[in-house]
Amino acid sequence: MLIKPKKARAILRKAGSTNFINYAEITIRLIPAIALILYSDFSKFPEAFNVFGGIMLITSLILYAVPRKLHHRFSMKSADILQPIYFQLISHFAFLFGGLIIYNAL
């Protein structure tokens, strides 16, 4: 996102574009969601891990029920709105958020 924002935007455009991509991305998203919930008791802030993991889990399960074409239309509209500079700006939050998760897990 930071170094190649145009590539990040192109990847966003592919979300939900095929059955394989749609269900693979949702399933891959489930892995860290479940891991956060399972690991929450061992983290520094178990409530935060439980809540965030739960939100990820619930939204992933909802995405399984959303028609693939609707999911793809949403990702295309989002990619139209999010210009490459926005990806670079939000990438800092992704690094910060990832660092917080690692800090809380150690």
pLDDT digits (tens, 9 = 90+) for 60-90: 999 999 999 999 999 999 999 999 999 999 9
CA–CA–CA angle 23, 28, 30 (5° rounding): 95
CA-to-CA distance for 40 and 36, rounded, in angstroms? 6
> In the structure, what pLDDT confidence band is assigned to residue 96 with cuts at 50, 70 and 90?
very high
pLDDT tens for 7-64 read 999 999 999 899 999 999 999 999 999 999 999 999 999 999 999 999 999 999 999 9
Kind plus residue range of the DSSP H or E element containing 105: helix 84-105
pTM over 0.75: yes
- In this predicted structure, the answer to whether residue 105 has a pLDDT above a threshold of 90 is no
CA triple 97-8-2, angle to 5 deg = 55
Contact 45, 105 (CB under 8 A): no
